[in-house]
Amino acid sequence: MNLWTVIKRAKQNTAIILTTHSMEEAEFLSDRLGIFVDGSLKYIVNPKELKGRYGGSVFTMTTSSDHEKDVEMLVQDFSPNAKKILLGMS
Protein backbone atom coordinates (compact mmCIF):
# COMPACT_ATOMS: atom_id res chain seq x y z
CA MET A 1 0.00 0.00 0.00
CA ASN A 2 1.47 3.39 -0.92
CA LEU A 3 1.36 6.63 1.05
CA TRP A 4 -1.24 8.24 -1.23
CA THR A 5 -3.65 5.36 -0.57
CA VAL A 6 -3.12 5.64 3.19
CA ILE A 7 -3.83 9.40 3.08
CA LYS A 8 -6.92 8.91 0.88
CA ARG A 9 -8.34 6.41 3.37
CA ALA A 10 -7.47 8.52 6.43
CA LYS A 11 -9.18 11.64 5.06
CA GLN A 12 -12.54 9.86 4.95
CA ASN A 13 -12.85 10.30 8.71
CA THR A 14 -10.88 13.46 9.39
CA ALA A 15 -9.57 16.70 7.92
CA ILE A 16 -5.99 16.62 6.70
CA ILE A 17 -3.88 19.58 5.63
CA LEU A 18 -1.02 18.74 3.27
CA THR A 19 1.57 20.89 1.57
CA THR A 20 3.05 19.97 -1.78
CA HIS A 21 4.45 21.48 -4.95
CA SER A 22 3.14 18.56 -7.00
CA MET A 23 -0.14 19.28 -8.81
CA GLU A 24 -0.50 15.55 -9.55
CA GLU A 25 -0.30 14.79 -5.84
CA ALA A 26 -2.58 17.67 -4.89
CA GLU A 27 -5.19 16.67 -7.47
CA PHE A 28 -5.18 13.03 -6.36
CA LEU A 29 -5.33 13.70 -2.61
CA SER A 30 -7.28 16.94 -2.28
CA ASP A 31 -10.88 18.01 -2.29
CA ARG A 32 -9.81 21.66 -2.19
CA LEU A 33 -6.56 23.44 -3.00
CA GLY A 34 -5.33 26.53 -1.24
CA ILE A 35 -2.93 28.56 -3.36
CA PHE A 36 -0.42 30.80 -1.64
CA VAL A 37 1.31 33.68 -3.39
CA ASP A 38 4.11 35.52 -1.60
CA GLY A 39 3.11 33.92 1.69
CA SER A 40 -0.58 34.89 1.51
CA LEU A 41 -3.53 32.61 0.79
CA LYS A 42 -5.02 33.88 -2.49
CA TYR A 43 -7.38 31.13 -3.69
CA ILE A 44 -9.27 28.11 -2.45
CA VAL A 45 -10.55 25.96 -5.32
CA ASN A 46 -11.23 22.33 -6.05
CA PRO A 47 -8.70 20.67 -8.39
CA LYS A 48 -11.24 20.20 -11.21
CA GLU A 49 -12.11 23.90 -11.16
CA LEU A 50 -8.43 24.80 -11.41
CA LYS A 51 -7.97 22.49 -14.41
CA GLY A 52 -11.14 23.81 -16.02
CA ARG A 53 -10.03 27.40 -15.58
CA TYR A 54 -6.41 27.00 -16.72
CA GLY A 55 -6.38 23.89 -18.90
CA GLY A 56 -5.49 20.24 -18.59
CA SER A 57 -2.17 20.69 -16.85
CA VAL A 58 -0.74 23.19 -14.46
CA PHE A 59 3.02 23.50 -14.10
CA THR A 60 4.37 25.56 -11.22
CA MET A 61 7.90 26.89 -11.06
CA THR A 62 9.34 29.26 -8.51
CA THR A 63 12.49 31.26 -9.14
CA SER A 64 14.15 34.50 -8.20
CA SER A 65 13.29 37.55 -10.29
CA ASP A 66 16.79 37.58 -11.84
CA HIS A 67 16.12 34.16 -13.43
CA GLU A 68 12.47 34.68 -14.40
CA LYS A 69 13.16 35.31 -18.12
CA ASP A 70 15.47 32.28 -18.32
CA VAL A 71 12.75 30.09 -16.82
CA GLU A 72 10.13 31.47 -19.21
CA MET A 73 12.39 30.73 -22.19
CA LEU A 74 13.06 27.20 -20.91
CA VAL A 75 9.34 26.46 -20.51
CA GLN A 76 8.57 27.90 -23.97
CA ASP A 77 11.29 25.71 -25.51
CA PHE A 78 9.70 22.59 -24.00
CA SER A 79 6.08 23.64 -24.46
CA PRO A 80 5.48 26.40 -27.04
CA ASN A 81 1.75 26.51 -26.21
CA ALA A 82 2.34 27.15 -22.50
CA LYS A 83 0.64 30.22 -21.05
CA LYS A 84 1.98 32.18 -18.11
CA ILE A 85 -0.54 32.76 -15.33
CA LEU A 86 0.22 35.20 -12.56
CA LEU A 87 -1.97 34.02 -9.70
CA GLY A 88 -1.05 36.90 -7.44
CA MET A 89 -2.17 39.56 -9.91
CA SER A 90 -5.96 39.22 -9.82
Given this model, what pLDDT does residue 71 score?
Answer: 86
* Residues present in the chain in total: 90
Average pLDDT of the chain is 79
Given this model, what pLDDT does residue 31 score?
Answer: 86
For range 51-64, the mean pLDDT: 69
89 band by pLDDT with thresholds 50, 70 and 90: very low
Q: Domain coordinates of the chain in residue numbers?
A: 3-89
- 35 beta partners: 43
pTM over 0.75? The answer is no
Instruction: Give the CA radius of gyration of the chain.
Output: 15
Q: How far is CA 51 from CA 33, 46, 54, in A?
A: 12, 9, 5
